[in-house]
Amino acid sequence: MKVQLNLSPIENWIPGLNEPLVISGPCSAESEEQVMAVARELKKNPKVKVFRAGIWKPRTRPNSFEGIGEVGLQWLKRVKEEIGMLTSVEVAKASHVELALKYGVDIIWIGARTSVNPFSVQEIADALVGVDIPVLVKNPINPDLQLWIGALERINQAGITKLGAIHRGFSPLSDSEYRNEPMWSIPIELERLIPNLPIICDPSHISGNRVLIESVSQKAYDLQMKGVMIESHMDPDNALSDAKQQITPKTLGKILNRLIIREPESSDLNFELRLKELRKKIDQVDHELLEAMGARMQLAEEIALHKKEHNITILQTGRYD
């Protein structure tokens, strides 16, 4: 069933947006110099509209860098005022929301380790009542579309209409080339259930390494996602968090230039005719497959009945061989 959210189009909250939205910046704000240097570089690329930097970092294990905290918000304020970029930060509880608002952050996002928890999401939603700020909700780390939708609904019910989703992949159950499995069918289903919700892809956290960022970004664009959030750092190898997946603003620029933006439809009649012809053929194959499956199920039932009438058990495992 379709999900009803009261949404404002992304073009209304990101001024001058006429191509996919690009959000970039370091995984973590580490120092004032680091934040300003990467922001200055990113500002040179007109495709990058929003600066990101985490200041409260939900790390998997303790005793690693857990973010610089409130002082980082002053640096984001400088990025906004001196460099002229929109700024964004991750929030995980009400006090984070209050501080982000106090320092004039433009966009907040809810991380994957927070969107799993309805208590935390509701606490954030309650802190947002009466506030007009765009909010992006990352998918929960587990592949649970209803939990993701529930988090979006909680924020929307607090009155936030400038709302988007971030697809950052799902914790893999077994060895994977990705840090987080993209499981593309989940954001596709989200798009089907809430067609006017902008979905932005986070290729950095899906990939977990630099090599895959371009192909994941291209796939996101090919699936009509509305933008990408890509982590960048002046010295990625020495970043205090997520070093393997961060890229320099220069590499980001090269990747963005190579990405192809495709159209959802065509006005070319020949294209449409050929597509119609191929779809007719695939519909026919689907029909034949369903008929064959139906016939198979019928036979399975006849076999079952035959065994039952002769007092024979359900399985003869030798048959499997």
| Chain positions contacting Mn ion, by CB under 5 A | 27, 242
Least distance from Mn ion to the Cβ atom of residue 27, Å: 3
The residue sitting closest to ligand PEP, measured at its beta carbon, is: 111
Q: Which two tokens stand for residue 123?
A: 């606490």
Least distance from ligand PEP to the Cβ atom of residue 169, Å: 8
Beta carbon nearer to ligand PEP, 132 or 235: 235
Least distance from Mn ion to the Cβ atom of residue 22, Å: 16
- Look at residue 168 and give the partner it binds from Mn ion, ligand PEP, none, a contact being a CB closer than 5 to 8 Å depending on partner kind: ligand PEP
Beta carbon nearer to ligand PEP, 62 or 130: 62
- Look at residue 106 and give the partner it binds from ligand PEP, Mn ion, none, a contact being a CB closer than 5 to 8 Å depending on partner kind: none
Beta carbon nearer to ligand PEP, 99 or 137: 137
Question: Which residues here bind ligand PEP, judged by CB under 6 A?
Answer: 27, 54, 58, 90, 111-113, 138, 168, 202, 205
- Look at residue 191 and give the partner it binds from ligand PEP, Mn ion, none, a contact being a CB closer than 5 to 8 Å depending on partner kind: none
Least distance from ligand PEP to the Cβ atom of residue 73, Å: 16
Beta carbon nearer to Mn ion, 38 or 149: 38
Least distance from ligand PEP to the Cβ atom of residue 285, Å: 39
- Look at residue 112 and give the partner it binds from ligand PEP, Mn ion, none, a contact being a CB closer than 5 to 8 Å depending on partner kind: ligand PEP
HEC string of the chain?
A: CCCCCCCCCHHHHCCCCCCCEEEEECCECCCHHHHHHHHHHHHCCCCEEEEECECCCCCCCCCCCCCCCCHHHHHHHHHHHHHCCEEEEEECCHHHHHHHHHCCCCEEEECCCCCCCHHHHHHHHHHCCCCCCCEEEECCCCCCHHHHHHHHHHHHHCCCCCEEEEECCECCCCCCCCCCECCCHHHHHHHHHCCCCCEEECHHHHHCCHHHHHHHHHHHHHCCCCEEEEEECCCHHHCCCCHHHCECHHHHHHHHHHCCCCCCCCCCHHHHHHHHHHHHHHHHHHHHHHHHHHHHHHHHHHHHHHHHHCCCCCCCHHHHC
Least distance from ligand PEP to the Cβ atom of residue 161, Å: 23
Beta carbon nearer to ligand PEP, 91 or 99: 91
Beta carbon nearer to ligand PEP, 168 or 233: 168
